[in-house]
Amino acid sequence: MVTIRQIRTDDAERLQTAHERLSPESRYRRFMSSKPHLSTADTRYLVDIDGFDHYALVATHPDDGGDAEAIVAVARFVRIASDPETAEFAIVVGDLYQRQGLATSLMSALAAAAAERGVLRFRAEIFSDNVAITRLMEALAVGEPRCRRLGSICEVEIDLPARPGEPVEVEIGLPAPEMIAGCAGS
């Protein structure tokens, strides 16, 4: 069973481990550059959130030992200061957990948290060929996603539903083939 919860400051080491477990392609698609490791500063930024303008959820799964929890996915939004009703979002799902509905559950919960905090729109820069995140955004959007192409990158913006979310636990199946479900932004 995968559990979705808000990220905590004590998740720093788990987040670094999760990042190292990602395939190079998943890391590249998430950060839009080669990023083999998260620096201490990166990690601090990613776990030290205020819960309002910077909000993040993690999906955890019991580690091999069964006692500890491992982070298997992360979704976050950061409010855009010049447009407080819009937030940049990012999501990355561990390779073994992709294509099982986890990204959909995470994004639904993230959208609900955003709506509760006055965010009406999500924006992200994604690779134009990232079919998985494009479909995810289309499913989440109220109305049609807006896309501005910038070469191999597309800046996408969607309007969010104004409804509370409920997902806290997600049943997952067996590991799926590698498929990228990451996007840019922090």
Cβ proximity of 4 and 168 under 8 Å: yes
Helices 102-116, 131-140: inter-axial angle, 10-degree rounding = 50
Closest among 79, 60, 72 to 185, alpha carbons compared = 79
- Range in 21-35, 71-85, 139-153, 165-179 the model is least confident about: 165-179
Domains and CATH numbers, the chain: 2-170 (3.40.630.30)
Give the whole-angstrom CA distance, residue 100 versus residue 118: 29
101-120 residue pLDDT tens = 899 999 999 999 999 999 99
Cβ proximity of 76 and 89 under 8 Å: yes
The β-bridge relationship of strands 169-170 and 2-6 is antiparallel
Closest among 18, 148, 158, 166 to 26, alpha carbons compared = 18
Helices 12-21, 40-47: inter-axial angle, 10-degree rounding = 110
- With a cut of 70, say whether residue 186 has pLDDT above it: no
- With a cut of 70, say whether residue 89 has pLDDT above it: yes
Mean pLDDT of the chain: 81
- With a cut of 80, say whether residue 29 has pLDDT above it: no
- With a cut of 60, say whether residue 91 has pLDDT above it: yes
Q: Which residue is it, tokens 């639904």?
A: 108
| Both structure tokens of 84 | 């407080």
Per-residue pLDDT, averaged over 126-148, amounts to 86
- Range in 34-43, 55-64, 100-109 the model is least confident about: 34-43
Give the whole-angstrom CA distance, residue 117 versus residue 171: 28
